[in-house]
Amino acid sequence: MTRLQFLYLWSVAVGAMDACTGLLLIFVPEFTLRMMGVAAHPEALVFISWMGVFIAAVGMSYGLVFRGGREATTVWSFTSVVRLMVTVYLTWKISIGELPVSWGLVAIADGIVSVGQLIILRAGWWEGGR
């Protein structure tokens, strides 16, 4: 597998993960949260669906990597920042007891993807580097 193939595969996999999660949160939020082991107050479901719009948009943005060059590095840079912010926020809220520990899986997944993308960006893989 070439580096470019790996970058595209990563983008499809991670983008699909977010796009699917976001769409599920939009259309079946209670079911989606239950699959994640998270409970939500029924009145919060409309806001969870609204969050799903943003999560789906982040996932779908990975499709722009197929334009190559600057678009690819921009998508990876932006989504790395978003994921890092999600990781920090969730870690903070879990640590002060405002969110259940079950949200830790999201924090861990976003943290791993963010750090992985930042390392690959730093190595210059999208530009044919190291």
pLDDT in tens, 80-113: 999 999 999 999 999 999 998 989 999 999 999 9
Q: What does the alpha-carbon distance between residue 42 and residue 91 come to, in Å, rounded to a whole number? A: 24
Q: Which domain holds residue 53?
A: 3-127
pLDDT at res. 38: 85
Tell me the per-residue pLDDT of 23-73, one tens digit each, with 9 for 90 and over.
999 999 999 999 988 888 999 999 999 999 999 999 999 999 999 889 999
How many domains in the chain? 1
Q: What is the pLDDT of residues 60-77, one digit of tens each?
A: 999 999 998 899 999 999
Produce one character per residue of 6-26: b if its CB has 16 or more CB atoms within 10 Å, e if not.
ebbebbeebbeebbebbbbbb
Residue 128 confidence (pLDDT): 77
